Amino acid sequence: MSTAILTVGTGSGLSNAVRSEWTKLWSVRSSWLNIVGAAVLSILLGMQYGWGLAYDNTHLEPGAVAEQQPIGQFGVSAMLIVQVVIAAFALLTVTSEYATGSIRSTLQWTPVRRDVVLAKAAVLVPVLFVYGVAMAAIASVAGGLTAGSWADWDATDLVVDLLSVGFYATAAGLFSAGIAWVVRSTAGTLTVAFLLLLVVPLMLGQASLRALVWTAALLPGGAGQNFLTGATDPLSPTLSAAILIAWAGGALVFGASILKRRDA
């Protein structure tokens, strides 16, 4: 009889799993400490970029012209670093359960392995989007205030930049969560995410060989940088966004398959 109940209640099982994951996410201190740390880092980075713009515009080389900068660009620039903190926020939803052993209870209460991955992803999507928008907004305001008259406070440009950052934060976070199902350790997952989101794309993107530049653009971090900055070389922002979606979805699907195989 219990087996029949589980089979019939698959839909409600997923919804219950989503509610459970939402509760677990906000009931641990690590989530709140992560957000506080990201906020502080965003403020400091925004201020640094704002002061840097003001200094550059007041110490121009002969023939150079000073220009204002949309404040949303401060948020975009900050996100290229803050993304690592946001990735840690996402991956901890998985790796912390393996570290404490609570994953056994999670799998017991949600026996359909696919639903476990889906529930965590469903909770992360809106949270990561708001997380990214909020951190970018903080950095944008901090940068705009410190840049002074060199900051362009156009609301339309700001909204576009914030929404772009929100999309990227969501994709990068889901990618990191997908990796976490495979690696399972916090240190290991964070290392992989740090390399693929920041270090390797940054190194390859500065290479003189076009093959390496293309490789960087096809990695999640390189695609994210191209998308956020609006670069068209070597890929357009639209194609870069598609690559980000592919990495995030692929990581989750692969993670779900690994979970099912290892913890059948």
Count of alpha carbons within 13 angstroms of residue 15, beta-carbon side: 4
Name residue 256's amino acid. A
Q: How far apart are CA 100 and CA 54, in angstroms?
A: 48
Place of tokens 């220009």: 67
- φ, ψ at 70 (rounded to 5°): -60, 135
What's the chain's length in residues? 264
pLDDT tens string for the chain (264 positions)?
333 333 334 445 789 899 999 999 999 999 999 999 999 999 999 999 999 999 999 988 887 888 899 999 999 999 999 999 999 999 999 999 999 999 999 888 888 889 999 999 999 999 999 999 999 999 999 999 999 999 999 999 999 999 999 999 999 999 999 999 999 999 999 999 999 999 999 999 888 899 999 999 999 999 999 999 998 889 999 999 999 999 999 999 999 999 988 875
pTM: 0.91
Q: What is the pLDDT of residues 188-246, one digit of tens each?
A: 999 999 999 999 999 998 888 999 999 999 999 999 999 999 988 899 999 999 999 99
177-199 per-position pLDDT tens digit: 999 999 999 999 999 999 999 99
If we measure between CA atoms, which residue out of 249, 245, 229 comes closest to residue 237? Answer: 229
